[in-house]
């Protein structure tokens, strides 16, 4: 049995903010899969994408999830927005813990990521159009692999955490 909580959702949905707060409140360990990869590779996500390509990064994501399954208990784990896209990872995420989908609207995601330079997939000519296209593909996948879905628009961190708490009862 694992008591891990696993946060999934699109870039800018608030996974890191909510994950850190939740872990803090319950004195749990907090792990961010992007940070984990950056530490292991001694390189930023942008540099990994640029030097080795997205496919290499996706393989690292699968490796990280497998390692966390073996090593972690009672942790809050925030995952990169593309983590559940591989079918293999969907199964692994379910083994890692209770999967929570933090669902945000296009508008609130756009507000949070519009000035971001650290997310390689959004460094393109029409990032807004890209987000719309990606959400269309990804939202059903996040929903499918999650045990719990929390809509985060117009909610405070405390409200979101309290919805998660009630859903876990």
How many residues sit in the footprint of ligand S3P (CB under 6 A)? 10
Nearest distance, CB of residue 159 and ligand S3P, angstroms:
21
Say how far apart CA 96 and CA 68 lie, in whole Å: 7
Closest CB to ligand S3P: residue number = 80
Using the rule CB under 6 A, give the single segment among 65-73, 102-110, 117-125, 141-149 that binds ligand S3P.
117-125
Per-residue tokens: 129: 């159009």
Order of strands across the sheet with 5-8?
A: 29-32, 75-78, 5-8, 98-103, 148-151
In whole angstroms, give the CA distance from residue 152 to residue 68: 26
Distance, in Å, from the CA atom of 128 to the CA atom of 147, rounded to the nearest integer, reads: 28
Token pair, residue 125, equals 């000519």
Q: Interface with ligand S3P includes 19 (CB under 6 A)?
A: no
Rule CB under 6 A: which of 75-104 touch ligand S3P? 80-82
User: Whose Cβ is closer to ligand S3P: residue 141's or residue 161's?
Assistant: 141
The residues with which 67 forms a beta bridge, in sequence order, are: none
Identify the residue among 6, 11, 28, 31 touching ligand S3P (CB under 6 A): 11
The residues that touch ligand S3P, with contacts defined as CB under 6 A, are: 11, 15, 34, 45, 80-82, 119-121
């Amino acid at each position: 049995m694992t008591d891990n909580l696993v946060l999934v959702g699109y870039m800018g949905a608030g996974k890191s903010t909510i994950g850190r707060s939740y872990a803090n409140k319950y004195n749990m360990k907090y792990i961010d899969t992007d940070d984990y990869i950056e530490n292991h590779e001694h390189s930023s996500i942008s540099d990994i994408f640029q030097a080795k390509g997205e496919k290499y990064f996706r393989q690292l994501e699968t490796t990280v999830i497998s390692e966390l399954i073996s090593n972690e208990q009672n942790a809050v784990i925030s995952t990169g927005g593309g983590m559940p896209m591989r079918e293999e990872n969907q199964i692994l995420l379910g083994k890692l813990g209770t999967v929570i989908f933090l669902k945000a609207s296009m508008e609130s995601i756009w507000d949070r990521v519009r000035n971001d330079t650290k997310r390689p997939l959004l460094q393109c000519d029409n990032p807004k159009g890209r987000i719309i296209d990606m959400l269309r593909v990804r939202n059903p996948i996040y929903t499918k692999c999650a045990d719990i879905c929390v809509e985060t628009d117009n909610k405070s961190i405390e409200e979101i955490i309290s919805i998660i708490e009630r859903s876990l009862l």
